[in-house]
Amino acid sequence: MTAPLEAAEPAAAQAAGPAGDDRPARHGVLRYALTKAGGALLSIAMVIIATFFLFRLLPGDPVRNLAQGRNMTPEQLDLERRRLGLDKPLTDQFFDFVGQTLRLDLGTSYEYKRPVLDLIGERLGPTLLLAGVGLFIAVSLGLWQGTRAGWRPGSRFDRFSTATSLVLWSVPTFWLGLLLLMVFGAWLKIFPSRGIESVDAPDGFGYVLDVAWHMVLPCLTLVGVVYAQYLLVMRSSLLDEVGQDYINTARAKGMRDDEVRRRHAVPNALLPTVTLVFMRIGFVVGGAVTVETVFSWPGLGKLFYDAISVPDFTLMQGTFMLITVAVIVMNTLADVVYHILDPRVRSA
Amino acid sequence: MRKWFARLAVMGVALLVVGQGQVALAQDPAAGKKIVRVGATQAVDSMNPFLAVRLVSTSIHRWMYGFLTVPDHKTLKPSPDLAESWSSSDDGLTWTFKIRTAKWSDGQPITAEDAAWTFNKIMTDDAAKTANGPAVENFESVTANGQDLVIKLKNPQASILENPIPIMPKHVWEKVTNIADFSGDQYPAVTSGPYIAVEHKKDQYVKLKANPDYWRGAPKIDELQVVFYENPAASIIGLKNGEIDLIGRLNPPEYESLKGDPNIVQWNQQGRRAAYLQINHGATTTDDKEVGDGHPALKDQKVRQALHHAIDKDRLVAEVQNGLAKPAHGSIVPPMYTDFFWEATGDTKVSYDPAKANQILDDAGYKKGPDGVRTMPDGDRKLEFRFSIHTDTPIEDKLAEYLTGFFKEIGVTLTTKKLDSSKFTEETGVTGLFDIAISGWSVNPDPEEVLATHLCSRRPTPSGEGGGTESFYCDETFEKLYQEQLKELDRPKRAELIKQMQERLYTDAPVIAIYYTNDLEGYRKDRIKSITSVPEQDGILYGASSFWPFYSLEAVESSAESEEGGSSAATLIAILVGGAVALGVGGYFLLRRRKSVADDRE
């Protein structure tokens, strides 16, 4: 009788702040977190090694590709190879790379001839802005619609929102972006066709508005394509809760429908969604290659994509490592947070 | 349902308000100025001319810096730029350039020292060789004496008058300690050309202001902006909605999508690019060892000749290129370069004639099998060739379809092999894992560079490092002619030699030119009053090896609608804030109503 209620209440209590009587549990969390962190470090080490060899498998000679379409003598190509250290044996290159990486030096990009860390630094801001805002809107929209839809499955709202999100989910990102560009850019002429800001952007508050104006279409595309996953996960996990005894109990207590949903059903249904959201936060760093390309957004995704065609080994290694490390860290965090949120995981 | 419509309507209105407001807002700082915005479908790789290789970067540098000589905008012949005159010694090894008296944009005088420093920097610093290393390869020494620049060559070189190196201000650039790590992002830049770069936002745009003290006279516009697009389709939209005023290097579908817009001029003139088929006629490395897996039949010049006869170039132009190209009856130098262009005539000309192609193959012993496919004379290997093209290039897919059809007529099977660009470059330029491949080259006013891509020395090394060959060609006649044209300082005589080289390529057919694609561009006539191409008749605007089009262009002043300036911006902000508040309040009430309805239902 009381067991289901406990499952709901502690989750909320834990999120707000640990209660006084769960010292052993906190200890457990710490140990759990440390184990997870160790695992994460191991994964990162493996990523560093894999990154190097994986990218060396790509076809193409960076020196020749960079020279393409230009007058380069064989002597000069040779010189370039020496300059980039590509003339050394692969094992030497590998140890150089590991040494550099441990010193947090990501090397110099072949194509841009600038430190990879600088290149990443310049593009991290726009990427976090676009992907972060996009993720926030997608999660809010998905959770809101998923909750409504899951609470009354089969209703007109459920059918409408689930169908819409699924259609958008199945649409290729590139195509949706271009469609929005054509309607709002070429036809209605109310949104810009590219970039993060106007060439003659005003200062101060005007600049903020200018960036917001440029962000509308890329954000819309990003949200349109991904929000379905939050909606569906939220909807199905809420569906699981709807038939549970503790919901009936809550209703029997005379709680309003809204309250039952908000205070009992949703906190429990949120658990799988939290994992999903944390995993996606990791990917935010990677940006959205397609959206960034369609809207010429100066972000990391585009940088990585461009690097592949050269192949610009140092730049690829740098961006790839950043993205994977972010994902690993966020996954680890998700594990830990889940552990805190859900007592069932903790006791297991 | 009505509520949904209402909400959507409110959203729509809000979007409209935000959009319109921002359009006007963004125009404010430009009010009353003559600004031209050029779209480019790549971003600047570096603003350091010693390192920059992308076309957008070298174009911008052409607008910023002077050169010894530049191609004349009418004739494309070398004409004075920072060097006002020049002379060469009798043996052609010593060249003296007289540098004109002019000033850098920071007021310092331009001297021969600047030029000498620039060339010497490239000759002595490996990192500085990145962009233009080969252009000084033949330089023995470069010295300055007042306004006289003396260049001593190792060997005679006629193309010295086409030197592609921008002259840099010594007093600014000698302070750069490590050229390899310098991005060149110092603004305002110190320049000697018509424009001064004043701002570069990475991956976004470069802003250039007119140089008021330019020695040819200041440009007729105030500002030139280069705006980068990662997505060509978006750049077309940008041109249509007026975010940019000009975009060059369009492909036929992009060009055709500009049709019908009353404000846009469609620019369709002859281009600088030759598209050709690269035939694996027996790929070898620099030590003459065979490399790759080319089909043995293609080693036979007769087979290559037959393939050439089987290609209906007129049809390719009409149906693959939508008529926006010229069929190639010459070789790798397009007709735009009238001095150097060679075209086959009479018996030399290989015209479309499948019957003749079949005849050639029959006579050479390539018999047709029962399935209609020919086999090698000395065995049963069929004439089945692979055609290597790039992924994601619809035009090449279409070309492959047509060629497959053409070759079927002569008993040759063609299968298409799609490769991503790095794999493509590797297989068709280093490892020789191809039979026939699509290729092309955008040719400079002096064709020496493209001719050099067919030299023996450009083949890959035995250790498998690519040297930049476009054909794996290694031919004694061709090499000899190449060396002769290097030494020939008389332009008409040199052109004659270069034509003979093209004829050799045409008849021996390591490459078969199929068409010369037109230069397709678009610009807004409500923004650009006049613009002159290079060459003046039937030429290129963006991407020409000349500063001229963007120096001589005239623009319409920015519209006066935003004359109120600040006050209009303030009104707009008020509208926006008002709109947002209204939206918030409306949304709140809508939600409240929903909530009460939901509660009522329980």
ipTM comes to 0.79
Q: How far is CA A252 from CA A8, A255, B506, B516, in A?
A: 16, 7, 91, 81
Contact assignment for B243 to A192 by CB distance below 8 Å: yes
DSSP for B4-37, please give it.
HHHHHHHHHHHHHHHHHHHHHHHHGGGTT--EEE
CA B116, CA B135: separation in Å to the nearest integer?
Answer: 14
- The candidate with the shortest Cα–Cα distance to A83, out of A105, A109, A58, is A109
Residue B596 has pLDDT above 70, yes or no: no
Classified as helix, coil or strand, B289 is coil
For chain B, helix, strand, coil in percent to 5 are 40, 20, 40
Question: Across-strand partners of B141?
Answer: B152
Identify the closest residue of chain B to A148 by CA–CA distance. B598
CA B550, CA B59: separation in Å to the nearest integer?
Answer: 10
Would you call B407 an interface residue with chain A, using a CB distance cutoff of 8 Å? no
CA B455, CA B494: separation in Å to the nearest integer?
Answer: 18
Q: Find out whether A181 and A189 touch, Cβ atoms under 8 Å.
A: no
Contact assignment for B452 to A71 by CB distance below 8 Å: yes
Most confident of A58-67, A155-164, B71-80, B494-503: B494-503
Q: Which of residues 206-225 of A touch B (CB under 8 A)?
A: 206, 209-210, 212-213, 216
| Identity of the residue in A77, A292, A293 whose CB atom sits nearest the CB atom of B465 | A77
The pLDDT, as a whole number, for residue B217 is 96
Question: What percentage of chain B has pLDDT greater than the value 90?
Answer: 73
Question: What percentage of chain B has pLDDT greater than the value 70?
Answer: 88
Q: Which residues of B touch A213 (CB under 8 A)?
A: 18-19, 22
pLDDT digits (tens), chain A, 348 positions: 333 333 333 333 344 444 444 455 566 778 888 888 898 899 988 888 888 888 887 766 777 777 665 656 677 777 778 877 788 888 888 888 888 888 888 888 888 888 899 889 988 899 999 999 999 999 999 999 999 999 988 999 999 999 999 999 999 988 999 999 999 988 888 899 999 998 888 888 889 999 999 999 999 999 998 899 899 999 999 998 888 888 888 888 888 888 888 888 888 888 888 888 887 887 776 667 889 989 999 988 878 877 887 778 888 888 888 888 888 888 888 888 887 777 776 655
The pLDDT, as a whole number, for residue A70 is 61
- The candidate with the shortest Cα–Cα distance to B521, out of B183, B301, B325, B255, is B255
Would you call A55 an interface residue with chain B, using a CB distance cutoff of 8 Å? no
Whose tokens are 């995704």? That residue is: A301
CA A224, CA B457: separation in Å to the nearest integer?
Answer: 54
Tens digit of pLDDT for each residue in B2-26? 555 556 555 555 555 555 544 444 4
DSSP state letter for B382: B
The pLDDT, as a whole number, for residue B49 is 95
Peptide bond into A311 cis (omega under 30): yes
Would you call B260 an interface residue with chain A, using a CB distance cutoff of 8 Å? no
Give the relative orientation of helices B566-601 and A205-242 as an angle to the nearest 10 degrees. 10
- The candidate with the shortest Cα–Cα distance to B153, out of B94, B88, B90, is B94
Question: Across-strand partners of B79?
Answer: B70
Contact assignment for B599 to A206 by CB distance below 8 Å: no
Handedness of CA B479, B482, B486, B489 (dihedral sign): positive
Contact assignment for B230 to A192 by CB distance below 8 Å: no
Q: Comparing A341 with B417, which gets the higher pLDDT? A: B417
Contacts of A58 (CB under 8 A, 6+ apart): A308, A311, B422
Q: Find out whether B157 and B123 touch, Cβ atoms under 8 Å.
A: no
Amino acid at A33: A
Residue B107 has pLDDT above 90, yes or no: yes
Give B302's Cβ-side CA count (13 Å radius). 13
The pLDDT, as a whole number, for residue A34 is 87
How many Å lie between the alpha carbon of A50 and the closest alpha carbon of chain B?
Answer: 21
Q: How far is CA B117 from CA B47, B144, B171, in A?
A: 19, 9, 10
How many Å lie between the alpha carbon of A204 and the closest alpha carbon of chain B?
Answer: 12
Widest CA span in chain B: 104
- Mean per-residue pLDDT, B258-276: 95
CA A285, CA A292: separation in Å to the nearest integer?
Answer: 13
Q: Which residues of A touch B231 (CB under 8 A)?
A: 194, 293-296
- Mean per-residue pLDDT, B329-349: 95
CA B549, CA B530: separation in Å to the nearest integer?
Answer: 9
Q: Comparing B242 with A305, which gets the higher pLDDT? A: B242
Residue B543 phi/psi, 5-degree rounding, is 95, 0
Contact assignment for B426 to A59 by CB distance below 8 Å: yes
Question: Across-strand partners of B87?
Answer: B96
A72, A105, A155, A308: which to substitute to probe chain B, counting the most B Cβ within 10 Å?
Answer: A72
Identify the closest residue of chain A to B431 by CA–CA distance. A60
Element (H, E) at B277: strand B264-279
Q: How far is CA A217 from the centre of its chain?
A: 19
Q: Do the bridges between strand B384-390 and strand B436-442 make them parallel or antiparallel, or are there none, so unpaired?
A: parallel
- Mean per-residue pLDDT, B516-544: 93
